């Protein structure tokens, strides 16, 4: 079995652009089986009676939940695809195209000012809607590599994923990295080849790319008829039905004409292109001969990917994809967990710090009788007027009920939080919710108690799900307020933005907040986002001064190990800092120096990732 360090280090290499290649055996791939005015009250004492109410979820509600994370390389049309799914799901009257001008610019899922200005996704968002008796949760993730951590966290909350490809480009670097994360999470993966209304690679070329690079078999469900200006529609191979589209205006639904493949005369007349008609018949025969049957067991195991072709911008094939996903997507799955009250004292802390996806006492399934959930994202200022802070909770088991009292994995035994109110999420919009079920994502007020990776639970047993790591940053810089008179607002803004985990804060050893603050990020764009949000949301300016280091390593051996290595002269040329939990972090100028120290000073136990401690 791969160790925790091997697994998470592999993810780090993927998400921050490392070149290391790796492969894990299938036995080691586990499926992670509107304004808020709520109060999150705490009490420090609890009796066993406080946890006796049943919070089990009805099977009917579990079975009708589906959630879907959308991953892609930048500019593959991911946000537009999200908007069109919402349009066909009835959640929007008109979808807003990302690249519209003026007042039309922007989308439901891209709600930050900087997202609207640049037409890119910066932060993962959640949108929920009901469709065909199912409740769908869509997680729209950033495509830019500088925001890979936010995408990784969203994938931790997902049960299904769709890989969106640009039909003209096929597989691209960020798509490759995110695919491997989906594979490690063992998420069923759907593939949607977008932008078929533009000149494209042949469908066979795209299928060959996926199989050659990923070893993943594809099974075409929607097959394209032409591309570019000659893109006529798609063949639904499951229904043996051709869907021909009239190009819709931006934001509107397409008109569709359906023709059976058995009615060749009508089909030929409707396609009105002899070459495309003949090619369709040839492709149909060839696919029947060469393609293995659709096998949902293999799809769930990550061995086969249902393949779709279409165009989100012109709405070709989007509703068909949504219908097929509703029929084929998996319901909420369980998560491995530890019962932390079964170990005491120092052993408990050691056990807590070792939690990851390869470890756990049991699988907590959605039918488990108590409520459990984990924080996969925090967000500040969804409503700038109220300076709110929100924790996104993915419910794993049981049901959320308004006013329930929950335990918290990092709090002392007996301390409870009263969840007086929660919201369902739709981009930046929220609506109060009385109940929610496994697979749902809810937002709760976060006055600073909850961090990414925390577990909330009811019942008498303290449950902890695997933590969600923060990865090694690659750019570093001092951030300062140039105006002493605005320092209070500057400090508040920094504190709230750091809580989101988009960047990390490092300080000199034993600095409790009075010294210079160093920001650490995966990419330079994250610094730009922090500065832009400080200006737009808090009204303060900021100055950044880069420092010449390129990677960070956490010393799991602790300060004693760092002091020993430093005394022996092994850490010359490094910068020794502490993170928000006062744990030692070493900054290196290059990979060679990091590899040298890691190899020679094994007692330091240097790691390119960190997780919040399980105990405050």
Mean pLDDT of the region 349-361: 51
In this prediction, residue 502 carries a pLDDT of 73
pLDDT digits (tens, 9 = 90+) for 436-462: 999 999 999 888 889 899 999 999 888
Work out the pLDDT band at 357, boundaries 50, 70, 90. very low
Phi, psi of 379 (to 5 degrees): -145, 135
Residue at token pair 């925390």 = 454
Axis-axis angle for helices 318-328, 78-88 (nearest 10): 80
- Cβ burial of 293 (10 Å; 0-12, 13-18, 19+) is exposed
Structure-model confidence comparison of residues 115 and 536, the more confident one: 536
Asked if 196 contacts 231 with a C-beta cutoff of 8 angstroms, the reply is: yes
Contacts of 203 by beta carbon, 8 Å cutoff, 6+ apart: 193, 220, 223, 224, 283, 309
**Dihedral sign, Cα of residue 153, residue 154, residue 156, residue 157:** positive
Asked if 167 contacts 206 with a C-beta cutoff of 8 angstroms, the reply is: yes
pLDDT digits (tens, 9 = 90+) for 197-251: 999 999 999 999 999 999 999 999 999 999 999 999 999 999 999 999 876 555 5
Work out the pLDDT band at 23, boundaries 50, 70, 90. very low
Q: Which of 106-120, 158-172, 180-194, 369-383 shows the lowest per-residue confidence on average (mean pLDDT)? A: 106-120
Work out the pLDDT band at 256, boundaries 50, 70, 90. confident
pLDDT digits (tens, 9 = 90+) for 601-614: 888 989 988 887 76
Mean pLDDT of the region 129-154: 83
| Structural domains of the chain sorted by starting position, each given as residue range(s) with its CATH number in brackets | 25-59+333-463 (2.40.30.10), 75-106+159-328 (3.40.50.300), 470-610 (3.30.70.3280)
């Amino acid at each position: 079995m791969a160790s925790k360090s091997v697994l998470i280090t592999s993810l780090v290499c993927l998400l921050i652009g490392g070149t290391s290649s790796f492969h894990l055996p299938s036995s080691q791939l586990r499926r992670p089986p509107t304004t808020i005015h709520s109060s999150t009250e705490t009490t420090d004492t609890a009796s066993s009676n406080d946890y006796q109410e049943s919070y089990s979820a009805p099977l009917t509600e579990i079975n009708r939940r589906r959630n879907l994370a959308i991953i892609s390389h930048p500019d593959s049309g991911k946000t537009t695809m999200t908007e069109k799914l919402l349009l066909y799901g009835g959640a929007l009257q008109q979808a807003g195209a990302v690249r519209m001008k003026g007042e039309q610019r922007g989308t439901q899922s891209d709600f930050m000012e900087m997202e609207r200005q640049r037409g890119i996704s910066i932060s993962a968002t959640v949108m929920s809607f009901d469709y065909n008796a199912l409740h769908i949760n869509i997680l729209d993730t950033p495509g830019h590599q500088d925001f890979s951590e936010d995408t990784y966290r969203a994938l931790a909350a997902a049960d299904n994923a769709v890989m969106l490809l640009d039909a003209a480009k096929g597989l691209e670097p960020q798509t490759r990295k995110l695919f491997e994360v989906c594979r490690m999470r063992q998420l069923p993966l759907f593939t949607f080849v977008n932008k078929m209304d533009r000149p494209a690679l042949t469908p066979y070329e795209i299928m060959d790319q996926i199989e050659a690079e990923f070893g993943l078999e594809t099974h075409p469900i929607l097959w394209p008829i032409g591309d570019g200006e000659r893109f006529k529609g798609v063949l639904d191979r499951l229904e043996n039905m051709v869907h021909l589209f009239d190009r819709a205006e931006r934001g509107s639904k397409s008109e569709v004409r359906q023709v059976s493949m058995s009615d060749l005369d009508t089909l030929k007349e409707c396609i009105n292109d002899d070459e495309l008609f003949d090619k369709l018949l040839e492709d149909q025969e060839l696919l029947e001969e060469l393609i293995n049957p659709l096998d949902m067991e293999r799809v769930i195991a990550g061995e086969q990917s249902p393949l779709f072709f279409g165009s989100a911008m012109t709405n070709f094939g989007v509703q068909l994809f949504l219908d097929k996903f509703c029929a084929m997507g998996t319901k909420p799955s369980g998560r491995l967990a530890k019962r932390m009250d079964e170990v005491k004292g120092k052993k408990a802390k050691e056990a807590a710090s070792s939690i990851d996806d390869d470890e756990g006492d049991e699988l907590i399934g959605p039918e488990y009788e108590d409520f459990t959930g984990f924080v996969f994202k925090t967000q500040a200022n969804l409503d700038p007027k109220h300076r709110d802070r929100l924790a996104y909770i993915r419910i794993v088991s049981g049901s959320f009920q308004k006013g329930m009292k929950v335990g918290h994995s990092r709090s002392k035994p007996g301390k409870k939080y009263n969840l007086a109110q929660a919201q369902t999420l739709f981009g930046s919009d929220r609506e109060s919710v009385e109940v929610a079920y496994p697979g749902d994502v809810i937002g709760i007020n976060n006055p600073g108690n909850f961090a990414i990776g925390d577990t909330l639970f009811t019942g008498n047993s303290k449950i902890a799900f695997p933590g969600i790591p923060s990865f090694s940053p690659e750019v570093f810089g001092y951030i300062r307020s140039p105006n002493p008179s605005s320092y209070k607002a500057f400090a508040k803004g920094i504190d709230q933005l750091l809580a989101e985990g988009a960047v990390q804060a490092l300080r000199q050893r034993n600095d409790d907040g009075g010294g210079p603050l160093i920001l650490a990020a995966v990419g330079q764009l994250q610094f730009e986002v922090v500065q832009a949000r400080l200006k737009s949301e808090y009204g303060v300016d900021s100055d950044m001064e880069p420092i010449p280091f390129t990677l960070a390593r956490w010393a799991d051996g602790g300060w004693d190990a760092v002091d020993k290595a430093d005394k022996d002269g092994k850490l010359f040329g490094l910068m020794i800092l502490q993170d928000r939990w006062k744990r030692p972090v070493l900054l290196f100028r290059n990979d060679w120096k990091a590899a040298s120290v890691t190899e020679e000073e094994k007692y330091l136990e240097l790691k390119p990732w960190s997780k919040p401690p399980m105990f405050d």
